[in-house]
Chain A
């Protein structure tokens, strides 16, 4: 146990250093130019962080989910886009690890990922599904010589052009229902990405997430065998909501720190004299502590539920509601904190070229309510509430 804790601490410390020495240095430029944070991802590769979540027996770092979550937080405090790229990659790695079920192809893939520090992007959204990740139009289609193919119109693929591999949701076969989905892992050498759109957004600009038409050719062994609904409920959805939330917590915490630095500078200039912004800062702190409490308890609940080999709780309605609520709460609370800081600092926070600027923080956290739109999550929850006995 203590070896694990040490390993986690060492990992988080190494990410903290990359966050402050590299991610933070380039964050403004990444944001301004809407460019991929390549320096950060290169540093993460070099440190072996892309396989941190892979089990040791497959060549990875076997860092715990807590360690990965803290790393998302540390990166989020310095560069939102770097943090979100890191989080999304780890969600894919964690999902494969939790559901590979001894499949030789996926085991050797994770070994390859560890050796080569491969970056995975995901292709879950699809034009025509109205944002519902639980339905697909594109389908696994048998081609010649046992080769399988799919073609998917994706409205957003985060860092798709910068990834090594893609994890894509598609229908199981040409005749399958929209909800009968599977996940396919394809390498860029097996995949064609035809650009279909731009990525000039108000925030999260460095995630570089334009649309693509994705065409892949792959073998049957590259289809994850585990039932899709289990993979969704036990891993993809809760892992996404937890790691995204830690990214948002990191961004909001840095905004708060800027507010605090501003108020303290004012206090130091005239000790003993009242600083009106100090009370406003205290209010923001209580908003931040609510955010932190929800994010931390979401992580704790998930870790506890995952300790059960059958992961029984994660298949319940109560669990779906719990991790949906984490996403709803965190996605609305993070920009609220940033907005509060804007009011604490005033014009110096509104200016982009000020050390107290929080424009980037506010813009980046506004994406939170849209990555899987909160209204869609409310619609799912509303349906579940009709039948749930325990919430």
Chain B
């Protein structure tokens, strides 16, 4: 798995928009972001910023808690979207 670059970008977006009470670098890839303090309002901003950063659009079927609750979940969703032909 060489998605370190991708995960670093995700962590940067989370750092700017997730409003976590803890340092995002201290979280593991599997850790629950909502449990760590991300509000649902903040998660919307995270989503918008991710769309801007990666030039993607999350389809409605990806707009669910499980996709955004961890760095690995977000990473898998973005990889899936980027894998699709434009």
Chain A residues engaging chain B, CB cutoff 8 angstroms: 264, 267-269, 271-272
Chain B 45-86 interface 0/1 with A at a Cβ cutoff of 8 Å (1 = within): 110110110000000000000000000000000000000000
7 CB-based A-B contacts, threshold 8 Å: A268-B48, A268-B49, A268-B51, A269-B52, A271-B17, A271-B46, A271-B49
Residues of A within 8 A of B45 (CB): 271-272
Chain B residues engaging chain A, CB cutoff 8 angstroms: 17, 44-46, 48-49, 51-52
Residues of B within 8 A of A271 (CB): 17, 44-46, 48-49, 52
Complex Cα distance A268/B44, Å?
10
Nearest Cβ distance between residue B18 and chain A, in whole angstroms? 10
Residues of A within 8 A of B51 (CB): 264, 268
Given A271-B49, A271-B52, 6 more pairs with CB closer than 8 A: A264-B51, A268-B48, A268-B51, A271-B17, A271-B45, A272-B17
Residues of A within 8 A of B52 (CB): 268-269, 271
Q: Which 9 A-B pairs have the closest CB atoms?
A: A271-B45, A268-B52, A271-B48, A272-B45, A271-B49, A268-B48, A267-B48, A268-B51, A271-B17
Residues of A within 8 A of B17 (CB): 271-272
Q: Chain A: which residue is nearest B49 at the CB level?
A: A271
Complex Cα distance A271/B51, Å?
10
Residues of B within 8 A of A272 (CB): 17, 45
Nearest Cβ distance between residue A235 and chain B, in whole angstroms? 38
Complex Cα distance A119/B19, Å?
61
Q: Chain A: which residue is nearest B17 at the CB level?
A: A271
Q: Chain A: which residue is nearest B45 at the CB level?
A: A271
Complex Cα distance A269/B17, Å?
12
Q: Chain B: which residue is nearest A273 at the CB level?
A: B45
Complex Cα distance A272/B52, Å?
13
Complex Cα distance A271/B14, Å?
12
Nearest Cβ distance between residue B52 and chain A, in whole angstroms? 4
Residues of B within 8 A of A264 (CB): 48, 51
Complex Cα distance A272/B47, Å?
11
Complex Cα distance A267/B49, Å?
9
Question: Looking at A264, A268, A269, A271, which has the most chain B CB atoms within 10 Å of its CB?
Answer: A271
